[in-house]
Amino acid sequence: MVSRVIPVDAFDLVIFGSTGDLARRKILPGLFRRFQSGQMPDSARVIGAARGDLTDESFRALAATAIAEFVPKARQDDAVIGQFLEKLSYVTIDASGEGGWPALKARMRDGVVRAFYFSVAPALFGDLAERLHLHGIADSASRIVVEKPFGRDLQSARALNSVLAKHFTEAQIYRIDHYLGKETVQNLMAVRFANILFEPLWKSEYIDHVQITVAETVGVQGRGAYYDKSGAMRDMVQNHMMQLLCLIAMEPPYHFDPNAVRDEKLKVIRALQPVGPQDIVRGQYLKAGGEGGYLDHSGNPASRTESYIALKVQVANWRWQGTPFYLRTGKRLRARASEIAITFKEPPHSIFDDAQGWRENVLVIRLQPDEGMNLMVMIKEPGPGGMRLMQVPLDMSFAEALGDEAEDVPDAYERLIMDVIRGNQTLFMRGDEVEAAWAWTDPIIAAWENRGDRPQGYDPGSSGPEDALMLMHKDGRRWREIKG
Ligand code: BG6
Task: Please check whether residues 113 and 199 belong to one and the same domain.
Answer: no
Does a structural domain hold residue 152?
A: no
The structural domain count of the chain equals 2
Task: Write out pLDDT tens, residues 17-69.
Answer: 999 999 999 999 999 999 999 999 989 999 999 999 999 999 999 999 999 99
Secondary structure class of 180 (helix, strand, coil): helix
Same structural domain, 321 and 457: yes
Q: What are phi and psi of 35, to 5 degrees?
A: -65, -45
Helix axis angle for 154-165 and 431-451, nearest 10°, is 150
Q: How many CB atoms lie within 10 A of CB 79?
A: 7
Cα(112) to centroid(ligand 1), Å: 33
Give the Å distance between the CA of 83 and the centre of ligand 1: 31
Higher pLDDT, 58 or 399: 58
Domain boundary pick from 91, 123, 147? 147
- Centre of ligand 1 to C-alpha 169, Å, is 28
Q: Can you give the residue range of the structural domain that contains 72?
A: 11-147
Instruction: Report residue 407's pLDDT band, with 50, 70 and 90 as the boundaries.
Output: low
Instruction: Identify whether residues 213 and 106 lie together within a single domain.
Output: no
Q: What mean pLDDT is predicted for residues 295-309?
A: 96
- Name the least confident of 258-272, 322-336, 352-366, 399-413: 399-413
Q: Closest ligand 1 atom to the C-alpha of 179?
A: 14
- The mean per-residue pLDDT over the stretch 438-460 comes to 97
Whether the CB of 339 sits within 6 Å of ligand 1: no
Question: Residue 404 pLDDT more than 80?
Answer: no
For the stretch 91-147, pLDDT in tens is 999 999 999 999 999 999 999 999 999 999 999 999 999 999 999 999 999 999 999
Task: Identify whether 418 is part of a domain.
Answer: no
Q: Return mean pLDDT, the chain.
A: 93
Co-location of 291 and 401 in the same domain: yes
Cα distance between residue 181 and residue 186, in whole Å: 7
| DSSP letter (8 states) at residue 332 | S
Mean pLDDT of 327-351: 95
The answer to whether 5 touches 33, Cβ cutoff 8 Å, is no
In this prediction, residue 452 carries a pLDDT of: 94
CATH assignment at residue 21: 3.40.50.720
Residue 242 sits in the same domain as residue 110:
no
Both 143 and 202 in a single domain?
no
Percentage of the residues of the chain whose pLDDT score is greater than 90: 84
Q: Is 216 in the pocket of ligand 1 (CB under 6 A)?
A: yes
Average pLDDT over residues 191-207: 95
Q: What is the pLDDT of residue 1?
A: 45
In a domain, 172, yes or no: no
Instruction: Mark whether 117 and 209 lie in a shared domain.
Output: no
Contact 191, 371 (CB under 8 A): no
Query: Each residue of 274-289: pLDDT tens digit?
Result: 999 999 999 999 998 8
- Tell which of 147, 166, 193 closes a domain: 147
Tell me, yes or no, whether 135 and 195 share the same domain. no
Is residue 263 located within the same domain as residue 197?
yes
- Ligand 1, residue 239: give the atom nearest the CA: 3
Predicted local confidence at residue 433, as pLDDT: 97
Residue 86 placed within a domain: yes
Q: 228 CB under 6 A from ligand 1? A: no
User: Is there an atom of ligand 1 within 6 Å of 235 CB?
Assistant: yes
Check whether 322 has a pLDDT greater than 90. Answer: yes
Q: Look at residue 405 in the predicted model and tell me its pLDDT.
A: 65
> Which of 152, 240, 298 gets mutated to test ligand 1 (max ligand atoms within 8 A of its CB)?
240
Cα–Cα distances in angstroms (integers) from residue 351 to residues 358, 362, 380, in the given order? 12, 21, 13
Question: Distance of CA 169 to CAs 46, 129, 371, 472, Å?
Answer: 23, 12, 36, 44
Q: Which atom of ligand 1 is nearest to the CA of 148?
A: 3
Residue 171 within a domain: no
* Boundary of a domain, candidates 147, 167, 197: 147
- On whether both 103 and 195 belong to a single domain, the answer is no
Ligand 1 centroid–CA 227 distance in Å is 11
Closest approach atom of ligand 1 to CA 218: 10
More confident residue, 357 or 193: 193
What does the pLDDT average to over 342-349? 93
pLDDT single digits (tens) 201-226? 999 999 999 999 999 999 998 889 99
Res. 290 pLDDT band, cuts 50 70 90: confident
Question: What's the confidence (pLDDT) of residue 3?
Answer: 54
Global confidence as pTM: 0.94
Does 424 reside within a domain? no
185 with 248, same domain: the answer is yes
Residue of minimum CA distance from atom 13 in ligand 1:
179
283 CA distance to ligand 1 middle (Å)? 18
Let me know if residue 383 belongs to a domain: yes
Q: Determine the average pLDDT of the residues in 394-420.
A: 82
238 and 383 together in one domain: yes
State which amino acid sits at residue 29: P
Q: Taking a C-beta distance cutoff of 8 angstroms, is the pair 216, 330 a contact?
A: yes
Q: What is the CATH number of the domain that holds 348?
A: 3.30.360.10
Using most ligand atoms within 8 A of CB, pick from 152, 229, 235 the residue to mutate for ligand 1.
Answer: 235
Q: b/e map of 386-425 (b: 16 or more CB within 10 Å)?
A: eeebeeeeeeeebeeeeeeeeeeebebbbbbbbbbbebeb
**Within a domain: 423:** no
